[in-house]
Amino acid sequence: MPLMIEITGLNKAFGATRVLHDVNLSVEAGEVVVIIGASGSGKSTLIRCINGLERFGSGTILVDGLSLAPIDMGRKKTSAQLKNIRREVGMVFQQFNLFAHKTVLQNVMLAPMIVRNWDWDKAETTARRLLERVGLADHIKKYPSQLSGGQQQRVAIARSLAMEPRVMLFDEPTSALDPEMVGEVLEVMRGLAREGMTMVIVTHEMGFAREAADRVIYIDHGRILEIGTPAEIFDNPKQERTKAFLSRVLKH
């Protein structure tokens, strides 16, 4: 399988605090990688580096052959290279971040029209198809504030998919949801995984990680401590810290 994401020697600090230490990670096309770790371990920061929402100090990130280096994230302007990468990388946020002043349909249609220059018909057809797929065909005229959290997150997934990304990043997509809505969002994500979408997911849903991930990564204090199949990580962790973390989170 060709590599979709290749992260080499990634370092990042917030002031004097180093949040990522020399991170190396490769993700193959079609692979589902789940990142786990305690809060503050740097896992969200790591995936936010992949589409340039966080600047990093040193290292390189290759996404589908496009390379992103610290120089591409100058203070002044979003570089062309970063824009190219962002077109290919979809992102789903913990807080959904739907555009509050736009309807569900408009949320999904906007970026393809202004970033990919699709005409109205193509954007609308695609948006309707994707909203149908995430089970929200009946809600396209509503505003985000009229939807439940689970519905909003499904719209956010459809909005990202409308850009036809090669990779999808999920930053704790179910952490802000009421428990009864977690399932509907995970179900959409499982569907994507089955279809072969390359996905990098930060989550606390260990059940989902075990069942949907090809590989699980444990991050601790900004370092990747352990990488393995779900069975290797969950049933037979090698590192003491991984064991301690898992026993903390799996108790609940």
Instruction: Please report, as ranges, the residues that interact with other proteins according to CB under 8 A.
Output: 51, 53, 75-78, 83, 86-87, 89-91, 93, 95, 97-101, 110-111, 114-116, 143-145, 156, 159-160, 163
Which CB atom, from 97 or from 229, has the smaller least distance to other proteins? 97
Which token pair is 114?
Answer: 């202004």
Which token pair is 239?
Answer: 């590192």
Closest approach of Cβ 229 to other proteins, in Å? 29
Which token pair is 8?
Answer: 């080499």
Beta bridge partners of 171: 202
Closest approach of Cβ 235 to other proteins, in Å? 35
Which CB atom, from 49 or from 225, has the smaller least distance to other proteins? 49
Closest approach of Cβ 87 to other proteins, in Å? 4
Which CB atom, from 70 or from 230, has the smaller least distance to other proteins? 70
Distance set, CA 18 to CA 14, 58, 145, 241 (Å): 6, 12, 37, 19
Closest approach of Cβ 147 to other proteins, in Å? 11
Which CB atom, from 56 or from 93, has the smaller least distance to other proteins? 93
Closest approach of Cβ 74 to other proteins, in Å? 9
- Which DSSP string do the residues of 44-73 spell out, in sequence order? HHHHHHHTTSS--SEEEEEETTEEE-GGGG
Q: CA 23 to CA 10: how far, in whole Å?
A: 5
Which CB atom, from 133 or from 142, has the smaller least distance to other proteins? 142
Name the residue among 182, 156, 140 with its Cα closest to residue 97: 156
